[in-house]
Amino acid sequence: MIEKREFGSTGHQSTVTLFGGASLSEVTQEEANETLEVLLDYGVNHIDTAASYGDSELRIGPWMEEYRDQFFLATKTEGRTYEEAKKEIRSSLERLRVDQVDLLQLHNLIQPDEWETVFGGNGALEAAVEAKEEGLVRFLGVTGHSLRAPKMHRKSLEEYDFDSVLLPFNFTMMQNGQYAEDFEELVELCEARGVAIQTIKSLSRRRWREGEQDRATWYKPLEDQEYIDRAVSWVTGRSEFFLNTVGDIELLPKVLDAADRFSARPSEEEMEEMVSEKGMKALWPE
């Protein structure tokens, strides 16, 4: 079974690989149900989805009627105002067929103007806190993509005591000196406060070229088990991190298999070799 770790200060022991619900955005219920069987086989006990992930919440809903007590359930809202977020939170509960989610996250909060709206009067944070007070959610988090994420998450943590953060982490991105510095500063703060650190884009190889896309992921992913093992182990080799699985259900078993067999973090030389062999490039180069 896959290793479990303390998910921040929530008291929950989550598997180091969290199931990324974005992979269910455009699948049938039958395909979604087959994916659930894979999660159960590997003992994955944490699901991370979002209101904006297509049909993902709708596909997860039927699972919750039977397996709710086996999963830490997280979703996200991209609402920026109080009313937008309040409406989306309640819609997510209906779509997921639950009375409460364990974690609600303010999604992709990296733009300064949107941040001001969320944390201002009648902003989305008020709706999130209200939902927590009403027992609709247990914990609150913040997520972000791109090179801005670490700094913006630190800014968010200065304003509110969030329980988790989510942001990109892979070998190619950490070759950007400024991003690496910002990232580690965020990690230090999260460690001090007991904030869970979720990572995404572990399997990213590079952006798609025109006419090339043949996967559900918006980036070209690693596909060979050997390289997936290396990429996954590089992330999970950091004991303070969680890895959100890839946004393609066909690659999911390979990611979980890699996590299940994890033994040691690969060396810098091994990662550099993989970057060269697979022509890997950071998704956000500047």
The CATH number given to whatever domain includes residue 33 is 3.20.20.100
For residues 62-85, give the mean pLDDT: 97
For residues 194-203, give the mean pLDDT: 97
Would you state the pLDDT for residue 204? 95
**Dihedral sign from CA coordinates of 276, 281, 282, 283:** negative
The count of domains in the chain is 1
For residues 128-139, give the mean pLDDT: 98
Query: What pLDDT digit, counting tens, does each position of 230-270 carry?
Result: 999 999 999 999 999 999 999 999 999 999 999 999 999 99
Residue carrying structure tokens 């996200």: 76
Would you state the pLDDT for residue 285? 82
For residues 58-63, give the mean pLDDT: 98
CA dist 75 and 52 (Å) reads 10
For residues 177-181, give the mean pLDDT: 97
Q: Does an H or E element contain 220, and which?
A: strand 219-221
At 267 the three-state DSSP class reads coil
C-alpha angle with apex 30: 231 to 242, nearest 5 degrees?
25
CA dist 79 and 268 (Å) reads 40
Q: pLDDT grade, residue 286 (50/70/90)?
A: low
In a domain, 141, yes or no: yes
In a domain, 283, yes or no: no
C-alpha angle with apex 9: 72 to 171, nearest 5 degrees?
80
Q: pLDDT grade, residue 1 (50/70/90)?
A: confident
In a domain, 29, yes or no: yes
Cβ pair 102, 141 in contact under 8 A: no
Q: Is residue 178 left, alpha or beta, with left meaning phi > 0 and alpha meaning psi from -120 to 50?
A: alpha
In a domain, 258, yes or no: yes
Residues 6+ apart with CB under 8 A from 236: 3, 16, 17, 243, 259, 262, 265
Domain hosting residue 65, numbered range: 4-278
Residues 6+ apart with CB under 8 A from 181: none
The mean predicted confidence, pLDDT, of the chain is: 97
Cβ pair 161, 120 in contact under 8 A: no
In a domain, 285, yes or no: no
Would you state the pLDDT for residue 17? 98
Would you state the pLDDT for residue 133? 98
Would you state the pLDDT for residue 198? 98
In a domain, 99, yes or no: yes
In a domain, 286, yes or no: no
Residue carrying structure tokens 């979720």: 198
At 244 the three-state DSSP class reads strand
Strand partners, 105: 76, 141
In a domain, 238, yes or no: yes
